[in-house]
Chains A and B, each alone.
Chain A
Amino acid sequence: MTAAFPFSAIVGQEQMKLAMILTAIEPRLGGVLVFGDRGTGKSTAVRSLAALLPPITAIKGCPVNAATAADCPDWAGITTTDTIERPTPVIDLPLGVTEDRVTGALDIERALTQGEKAFQPGLLARANRGYLYIDEVNLLEDHIVDLLLDVAQSGENVVEREGLSIRHPARFVLVGSGNPEEGELRPQLLDRFGLSVEVTSPTDIDERIEVIRRRDAFDMTPDAFLAAWQDKDAAIRDRILSARATLDSTEAGDAILRDCAKLCVALGADGLRGELTLLRAARALAAYEGADTVSRDHLRAVAPLALSHRLRRDPLDEAGSGARVARCVADVLG
């Protein structure tokens, strides 16, 4: 695998970059959904996210990246307590993947050749404590979606089949991208994503030229290009790390909570997940900007990200949901 395009070198697409940074600061936000046309750099952004994430400490050889020996599942047969530092996993979930590959299954090779009953961990095990990236998420097949919803909810993957009874932790952040022209996303899955972004091709000709220029430089001389942007990427990573450290001490006053609730009520967003995500996103943004308390400006900045996919859809409304959120934010927050 060749190196990913540097995150800081992505031209424009500020909303998308902000959403990625927020999810890196606060994994509990619940991931990011990027919807947009072809060739807008959706996958590029997601793949460059990996470089921004701080490494995790995991037990050596553990298939689920457990932090302590006690968390290692029994079936893995790990005896060591040595830990190693490894990059935060960002696992690709390809379209048309089989259930077996996702959840893990009976190790057929070992079953057939040695007559042993062994478990072969799947993608969910590898994604534990990391990120699960689904490109073209709206084309994912229904039964895989069912499975993901269930695991994302419980944080645990349970395999009961072929005489196996296996469970292991599977806590991951979902990152999805897709082209809305190719199909809709199931509302239940949509709701699992904390933030959503709609990206479009830049319309400014200079911006487009800059995109091509950087892409070309990256393709022709990748090493020099990566070296040139290394520092900027490192700066963002440092800010993310310090934001993680101050996240818990960043305060959100009652007035802000009230604003969150008012916004969600005014928009008619279903459930309480909207308020919670809005608050967490605003807090992550405040921490990223080095503020001690969450302000209305933070709310205003993250409201479209956190709420635009939670609205009851009105098929006969011509304006997009982004416009509705913006209108409502202007009404409520003044």
Chain B
Amino acid sequence: MTDAPAPASAWSRGLRALALLAVDPTGLRGLTLRARCGPVRQVFEEAITRLPMTQRRIHPEISDTQLFGGPDIAATLAEGRLVLDPGLAETPALLILPMAERAAPGLAARLGQILDAARGHGLILLDEGIDSDEQAPSGLRDRLAFDVDLDDIRWPEAIARLPAPGDIDAARARLAHVTASSDDLTTLTALAARFGIDSLRAPSLALRAARAIAALNGHDALSADDLREAAELVYPTRATMLPQDEDDEAPPEPPAPEDTSDQPTDASDTDGAMDIPDELLIEAVRALLPPSLLDRIAEGRSTRGGASGAGAGARRKGNRRGRPLPARPGHPDGRSRIDVVATLRAAAPWQAVRRRQRPDAPQKVIIHPSDIHLRRFEDRSDRLLVFTVDASGSAALARLAEAKGAVELLLVQAYARRDQVALVAFRGTGAEVLLPPTRSLVQAKRRLAAMPGGGGTPLAAGLVAAALLAEQSRGRGLSPALALLTDGRANVALDGRGDRAQATQDAEMIARQLFAQGFPGVVIDTATRPGDAPAALAARMGARYLALPRADAARISTAVSTALDG
């Protein structure tokens, strides 16, 4: 075999994915497109509209009636008999979901159901998330074959060339006759295992992709190039680790928290030559791994999983539960309940007029869609506790361990208390979100397994990170509260310089901003001798101040609960 050709650019891979999707929408399910609004994305979206498939654009707040069908209220009222509107789930189409990063878990679950029913639906997620914490629902992304990132594509490159519709039809016809050999299957599965891809959907999708590629190329059997291209399209964004070399005696166990199994050793222990995927294939996929993945592997963290933080908790609901509010006119969408009394009351004054207009109407009461009133309720949203922990200096390890314990203790009661927990740690020159907002004890345990400590105290940076996280979660309908664990001795300024005076000034400034944003908070002084600095900081933040010099996990969790409830 010759050398592997240079990997295609993200743009041409994206177009290729589109063409394949048109060939086999049922098998490949769809693609995730990660791109901000702009000319490049526009060109790509135009290419999507040129695919020879029925397309329906949906939105993150789409109702059940629209998805699964239900009564068409306007027509029902006009005709005086039940008129049903078929839902999107009935007719196979390519569904396009913009703002996919804001899709609620409920919608993701429903779309997953529609895809699993295999009626010929495809799904394109347009993900406009800005940072890696904002992502389309991972349950959906796992089901879709392709993941295209167009953020780095320059405009001149963006030329939409797709196969002619005739070619796609020919490929569709050929698809059923493309045979995959047992070796092809083995190669793709083993390759996925080497990259630490746990989900078995990945090799399954790669196989379907390889088939579609062969069909599009006019072959009846899979060639090595088809396999390589399929692997390049499906695997890179799913990888959680770099493959180990075969003769590496003691492969350093990648501390990827999601990877609970000992797959890498499994893969390299197998002696059979047929199980070892072609080195060329490995190189091809390795060349396409997103740079962020390499960084995270270097830091010892997993690449996937952050997306699931997108909010397991209930949002503030307007029309289902809680304290009742007066009914408002609105359109029944299958999620809200009609207030029958209010609807009739709204219709009553007009009955005489309407009867005169339509004397032959069969109904006893003539109701127009505009009369319909919906129930509304006011509900309390979930609370999010953002633990912001000083991981600097010598006390760092103990303090982090106690904060971790407190997070886990709080999570145990989280369900009953409707709390979510996040953890931000700051040390050295910056801060990072160690645990995105979650209610899952399992996720917390996996992500908190290794926490680095030591270095300077960039207090301001920590507060900035916490404020950002709090602001983001407020946008998702949570009520954030901050718990800051520090000794208050800031010595690294916002710009990363070790300047004590500047650092204190910066921290005070951010604290004032936090006060303005109105997040409730508590500052826990963990210094052995409680000082003035943390108390002053708490005053600026408008937060409570607690001195807990030898705080342990249980005391921190109790203190935080009481301080914020009181």
Contact = CB atoms under 8 A, between A and B. Distances in A.
A, B co-complexed: yes
Interface of A: 1-2, 37-41, 43, 92, 94-100, 105-106, 108-115, 135-136, 138-139, 141-143, 162, 179-187, 200-205, 208-209, 211-213, 215-216, 219-220, 313, 315-316, 318
A113 B363 contact: yes
26 contacts: A1-B117, A37-B198, A38-B142, A38-B201, A39-B202, A40-B200, A94-B106, A94-B109, A108-B340, A111-B340, A112-B367, A113-B82, A138-B312, A141-B320, A143-B320, A181-B443, A182-B105, A183-B439, A184-B441, A185-B415, A205-B275, A216-B207, A219-B27, A219-B204, A220-B176, A316-B408
B80 A113 contact: yes
Contacts of B112: 135
Given A212-B204, A315-B412, 4 more contacts: A38-B139, A184-B411, A208-B192, A216-B208
B365 A109 contact: no
Contacts of B198: 37-39, 201
Contacts of A138: 312
A260 B409 CA distance: 31
A109 B142 contact: no
A151 B155 CA distance: 58
Contacts of B305: 181
Main secondary structure, interface of B, reads: helix
A200 B261 contact: yes
Given A315-B408, A316-B405, A95 B105 contact: yes
What 9 pairs across the A-B complex have the smallest Cβ distances? A96-B106, A39-B199, A183-B312, A95-B109, A315-B408, A115-B364, A180-B442, A203-B261, A39-B201
Nearest to A208: B189
A204 B335 CA distance: 44
A205 B408 contact: no
Contacts of B266: 203-205
A185 to B, nearest CB: 8
Contact of B364 (A114, A183, A215, A216): A114
A115 B365 CA distance: 7
A213 B340 contact: no
B363 A205 contact: no
Contacts of A110: 82
Contacts of B321: 143
Nearest to A143: B321
Contacts, number: 191
B263 interface: yes
B204 A37 contact: no
Contacts of A179: 139, 308
Contacts of B425: none
A142 B314 contact: yes
A38 B190 contact: no
A94 B110 CA distance: 7
Nearest to B321: A143
Nearest to A108: B338
B479 to A, nearest CB: 16
A135 B308 contact: no
Contacts of B455: none
Interface string B467-510: 00000000000000000000000000000000000000000000
A75 to B, nearest CB: 18
A95 B340 contact: no
A105 B375 CA distance: 14
B189 A181 contact: no
B77 A112 contact: yes
